[in-house]
Amino acid sequence: MKARCRPASTRTAVAGLGALALAALVGIAGCRVGPDYRAPQPPAGAEAPLVSLDEAAETPAAPPDDWWRLYRDPQLDRLLAEAFAANTDLAAADANLSGARAILAAARAGRYPDTVVTAGGIRGRDAVTDEILELGGHRPETVWIIDDLFEVAYEVDLFGRVRRNVEASRASTEAAAAARDSLKVVVAAETARAYAQVCTLGEQVAVARHSLAVVSREADITVQRHDAGANSQFDVVRAQGLVAQVRSAIPPLEGRRRAALFQLTAVLGRTPVNAPVEVETCVTAPQLSALIPVGDGAGLLKRRPDVRQAERSLAAATARIGVATADLYPKISLTGLYGGIGLQLSDLGAERGLTWGLRPSISWTFPNQGLPRARVRQAKAAAAASLASFDSVVLTALKETEEALAIYRAALDNREALSDAQDKAHAAFEMAHDQFLAGSLSNLDLLTTEQSLVAADAAVAASDAGLVQDQIAVFKALGGGWRGPGPDNR
């Protein structure tokens, strides 16, 4: 247990025992028991450059908070602004933050005297009044006793209980703000994800329909050649089966696109009947205008709100040790009152009705301190848990970022290989088509190249969809979005 005392500046020439006692109280009023908070050091290597950085895909520059503007998509910008303003989860987080601020205001009020003004009356018998009446030769009687009083009560914060409570409440408020900011990161990412999914599924539907047109055209050619006696009925059925297979892939894509639209609707805080159907005009994957800026580990820890929330929670837990420790010591309060008491309203303003008083009081849980000491142990355990949680949050932040970068790098390589395969498939199909018409290629070989073409086009479209989702995962892991346009970030 540690106590920090700040001696106040007082004059030494103080006369009288009461003045000396007051000077002693003032001198120790700066003491604060419990540990002073020091920000924890992150695990070794946490602030080093990110090991998965690939300068062919990312840059070490610090990422912008409004990362979605790197896509240069005005429609996406509008959706993000709407989501920040209307998302119901963010509204709930703002309400929680307002509640934390109210608790902080209440804690700060403890640094000042409590003042109460009362005025009222009671009809009945009062022992003091009866005694006065008897001294004057009167019999006791039932009377009205009227009072108006102004009372002031002040806790002398000798051991810093009030100040530690303010410190804990302030840190808790900052942790609540960080929790709200963490939710903003999620809202930004989920809005961009849903919008990108609508766009990329539109691209996949368009690719599937183009593939359907290609295989339908080839099936018609096969039918025509059969009618001319060049193909068998088996070749026709097989070509028509491929058409049916390609057609069957379209409805699931359209259903998933509709579902993505409703997911976006929910993130925007809208009902399904008010879904933003205008986004269905987007049929291409959003494209970045530059390499992804990722920064380094030190910037990541400062940027991610969950790390800040964990650090502020640790600060609050540390301050609560001081609050609990202060309960081991005496609590001193000063109470004063001034007003009037009388049997008539006119007595309240007269000298005979004047009443005033000053009452110092001391309360101390002693000698049985089992309960307050248990609370100190509980507070220390909570602080230890918060410290372990802070380390865990830091490690999770680094892990998520490195994972996202590694997956994104693999997705880029996959997209490059699929693009090469797509080019080969298109070239092979063009050659097969010409050779089939010339009669030098079998129907089975043509069908095989058609299947390869359809599969290559679908794979590239699916890769585009996955790639943009992986990009958004990187931005989310980097912790961007909470300082963008949206609710108050005070």
Q: For the segment 345-395, what is each residue's pLDDT rounded down to a tens digit?
A: 877 778 778 889 999 999 998 899 999 999 999 999 999 999 999 999 999
Give the least confident one: 9-13, 31-35, 313-317. Answer: 9-13
pLDDT band at 38 (very low <50, low <70, confident <90, very high): very high
pLDDT band at 343 (very low <50, low <70, confident <90, very high): confident
pLDDT band at 27 (very low <50, low <70, confident <90, very high): very low
This model's pTM is above 0.85: no
**Which pLDDT score is estimated for 121?**
87
pLDDT band at 4 (very low <50, low <70, confident <90, very high): low
pLDDT higher than threshold 70 for residue 472: yes
List, as one string, the DSSP characters of 307-369: HHHHHHHHHHHHHHHHHHHHTTS-EEEEEEEEEEEESSGGGGGSGGGEEEEEEEEEE---S--
Distance CA 109, CA 127 (A): 38
Which position has the higher pLDDT, 109 or 21? Answer: 109
- Identify the top-confidence range among 21-30, 144-153, 178-187: 178-187
Strand partners, 117: 150
pLDDT higher than threshold 80 for residue 488: no
Distance CA 444, CA 433 (A): 12
**Which pLDDT score is estimated for 163?**
95
Q: How far is CA 326 from CA 113, 128, 371, in A?
A: 19, 40, 13
Average pLDDT, the chain: 89
Q: How open is the CA angle 9-10-11, to the nearest 5 degrees?
A: 135
Instruction: Please list, residue by residue across 121-141, b when 16 or more beta carbons sit within 10 angstroms of its beta carbon and e when fewer do.
Output: eeeeebeebeeeeeeeeeeee
- Identify the top-confidence range among 147-161, 184-198, 219-233: 184-198
Give the least confident one: 75-84, 132-141, 153-162, 270-279. Answer: 132-141
**Which pLDDT score is estimated for 8?**
35
For the chain, domains (ranges, CATH) are 1-31 (no CATH), 43-111+159-328+371-477 (1.20.1600.10), 113-156+330-363 (2.20.200.10)
Distance CA 71, CA 286 (A): 6
pLDDT higher than threshold 60 for residue 204: yes
pLDDT band at 450 (very low <50, low <70, confident <90, very high): very high
**Which pLDDT score is estimated for 228?**
87
User: Is residue 145 helix, strand or coil?
Assistant: strand
pLDDT higher than threshold 80 for residue 174: yes
Distance CA 458, CA 255 (A): 17
- Which whole number is the average pLDDT over 96-106? 95
Which position has the higher pLDDT, 4 or 214? Answer: 214
Distance CA 181, CA 187 (A): 10
Distance CA 458, CA 288 (A): 22
**Which pLDDT score is estimated for 438?**
86
- What are the tens digits of pLDDT across the range 306-341? 999 999 999 999 999 999 999 999 999 999 999 988
- Which whole number is the average pLDDT over 77-85? 95
Q: How open is the CA angle 480-317-38, to the nearest 5 degrees?
A: 75
pLDDT higher than threshold 90 for residue 483: no
**Which pLDDT score is estimated for 137?**
72
- Which whole number is the average pLDDT over 144-166? 92
- Which whole number is the average pLDDT over 126-143? 73
**Which pLDDT score is estimated for 23?**
40
- As a whole-number percent, the residues of the chain with pLDDT over 70 amount to 91
Give the least confident one: 84-93, 382-391, 466-475. Answer: 84-93
Which position has the higher pLDDT, 300 or 490? Answer: 300
pLDDT higher than threshold 80 for residue 126: no
Contacts (Cβ under 8 Å, ≥6 apart) of 248: none
pLDDT higher than threshold 50 for residue 16: no
Give the least confident one: 13-22, 178-187, 215-224, 253-262. Answer: 13-22
